[in-house]
Amino acid sequence: MTAYISPFCMPFLEMRKMKRTGFCQAFLGGGALAALVPVVNMALRAETFTSQPGSPFQILMEANWQLMAQLNIFLLVCGACLLYHTEYADNGLQKARSLPLGSSGLFLGKLGILLSAGLIPLCLETASLTLCCMRWFPDRPGESLRILTGMAFAFAMLLPTGAAMLLLSSMCRNMWISLGAGVILVFFASMLPASSSSVSDVLALVPFCGPYRMLHELPGREAALWTVCLCLGESVLLCAAERVYQSIRRCFA
Amino acid sequence: MSANIIETENLTKSYGNFTAVSNLSLHIKKGSVYGFLGPNGAGKSTTMKMLLGLTKPSSGSFHINGRTYPKDRLAILRDMGSFIEAPAFYGNLTGEENLEILRRILQLPKSAVEDALEIVGLTEHRKRLAKKYSLGMKQRLGLAGALLGHPPILILDEPTNGLDPIGIHEIRTLVRSLPEKYDCTVLVSSHLLPEVELMADDFGILNHGRLLFEGTMAALKRTADAAGLPTHDLEETFLAMIDIDNRNRGERR
Ligand SMILES: Nc1ncnc2c1ncn2[C@@H]1O[C@H](COP(=O)(O)OP(=O)(O)OP(=O)(O)O)[C@@H](O)[C@H]1O
Ligand SMILES: [Mg+2]
């Protein structure tokens, strides 16, 4: 009988809505910038790092990740704002809400795009970190697995931030408010202390703070798995929060 | 089952202590054009938004095509094409791309888009960005979105707003022809009784959220006659009805 669109098609549909908004270009450009950070750093002060003992990937991460992670978060903030700006700008959202879509279909579709787009800078960064390892640490090979797991962990840490930012931007009709709030949150989170381990373990789960965490800082494999699982759970909770918010919004709309 | 395709029972919407729609009981026959009339702020758009699930009724219920909200939300929305207040679209997409998104969500055949563009006379401008459309063209795009796939129920909120005289005439003729052509039921709102008179079979007159009259034109004339209102000019009948109600409201206060 009557067919409904499958939820798995939603991200592709949402992608069509992002035509001519500069969404992909933003992620490519921002990702390229973040990928340049370790290259420039190595090119300028190679000795400082090559003289350090230990894993080259960890040395590179310690030196550059703070800035790279911040760029990644910024990209998610801008991407989330852009995703809902197209909906609110000409009231397309009202039409979308009167179509036969599951009540979270729109949000999940956008989340799918935002997180896939988040993979763009991560891939570029993975490539540049790999190149840096090969170029400046030719005597210490065998880093690829470490790089891959490290970056996969970084992706998991981005999930709650992406979901939280998308939730925020879905609440704001005016893009400047969600963008402003997002930027404030990014700066606020970057100022929180990341030194003492028990505090930073908790902070790893807070959106906007988590992406600064690095895999090798965690005490062991088990701790890393726990952190990833909790991040996944947190993202699911944020999606549920969006659903609750939608039903509350409908009472006042 | 009754012959009514849309029935509302004591539908009420309050914002704080202000009641926008009060105990509204509409009866819309299958295959008819129902003219929904009322001055600014009468609650026409609010009623239509409740039918579309864009806003939640404070109390009361409604049935559409034998289905109830919110249980059968998707099935209800599947059967309804809508156009509420200002046209809702994505400005960064062309007219055609806008309809293409709707077509995919509704899972309609490819030809549906061309069809809808042809009906509203936008075929020539289909490759232009929607935000560069003139007011009337945006309105036509909104109408095309509502008509896409010839849904069994159409909800049109002031569809002729901003259209030129030719456009108004076209839309009027179109709305008039829909029940026979596509076995469609239309709920169309307007401020002007003479304008809807040309399209509608039944009328509902709303003032300050309350239904003053519901029935055919002949019944309206009888009611007006009995109340001693002018009947030679529909505009005047309408104005007198609203005026009397406003005065009664003043006394009730
Ligand atoms: N979200 C809201 N919060 C508070 N009041 C609202 C809200 N939406 C609508 N109203 C009020 O409800 C009343 C009815 O509004 P509605 O848009 O339904 O009128 P209308 O009959 O469509 O008028 P018009 O002919 O001007 O389009 C108005 O007084 C309006 O101010
Ligand atoms: Mg209105």
What is d(CA B84, CA B111) in angstroms, rounded to the nearest whole number? 25
Does B128 score more than 60 pLDDT? Answer: yes
For A132: left if phi > 0, alpha if psi spans -120 to 50, otherwise beta; the answer is alpha
B200 forms beta bridges with: none
CA angle B18, B19, B22 (to 5 degrees): 170
Q: What is the per-residue burial (b if ≥16 Cβ within 10 Å, else e) of A177-210?
A: ebbebbeebbeebbeeebeeeeebbebbbebbbb
- Spatial contact of A218 and B23, defined as CB atoms under 8 Å apart: no
Rounded to 5 degrees, what are φ and ψ at A55? -70, 125
Considering only CA atoms, which residue is closest to atom 22 of ligand 1?
Answer: B45
> B88 and A91 in contact by Cβ < 8 A?
yes
Least confident of B69-78, B92-101, B128-137, B149-158: B69-78
Q: Which two tokens stand for residue B232?
A: 């030679």
Spell out a b/e string for A98-137, using b for 16 or more CB atoms within 10 Å of the CB, else e.
bbbbebbbbbbbbbbbbbebbebbbebbbebbbebbeebb
Are A91 and B86 in contact (CB < 8 Å)?
yes
| Residue B70 three-state SS | coil
Whole-number average pLDDT of chain B? 91
Closest CA to A212 of A201, A221, A225: A201
Domain ranges of chain A: 7-252
- In this complex, the residue of A9, A21, A90 whose CB is nearest that of residue B130 is A90
Peptide bond into B70 cis (omega under 30): yes
**Which residues have a Cβ under 8 Å from the Cβ of A29 and sit 6 or more positions away?**
none
H/E element holding B219?
A: helix B217-226
**Residue B125, Cα to own-chain centre: how many angstroms?**
26
Query: Is A17 at the interface with chain B, CB within 8 A?
Result: yes
User: Residue B241: what residue type?
Assistant: M
Q: What is the mean pLDDT of residues B180-185?
A: 91
Using only C-alpha atoms, chain B has a radius of gyration, in whole angstroms, of: 18
The Cα–Cα gap between A162 and A142 comes to 32
Convert the pLDDT of each residue in A93-133 to its tens digit: 999 999 998 888 999 999 999 999 999 999 999 999 999 99
- The structure tokens listed for B82 are 């809508």
Maximum C-alpha span of chain A: 69
Q: What is the ipTM of this complex?
A: 0.90
The confidence score (pLDDT) of residue B167 equals 86
Nearest-CB residue to A90 (from B77, B89, B105): B89
User: In this structure, which ligand is nearest to the CA of B190?
Assistant: 1
Q: What is the DSSP string of A190-202?
A: HHS---SHHHHHH
Q: What is the pLDDT of residue A196?
A: 57
Which of A5, A9, A94, A247 is the best substitution to test chain B (most B C-beta atoms within 10 A)?
A94
What would the pLDDT profile of A61-92 be if each residue is shown by its tens digit?
999 999 999 999 999 999 999 999 999 999 99
Domains in chain B (CATH in brackets) are 1-79+185-253 (3.40.50.300)
Q: What region, left, alpha or beta, does residue B208 occupy, with left being phi > 0 and alpha being psi -120 to 50 degrees?
A: left
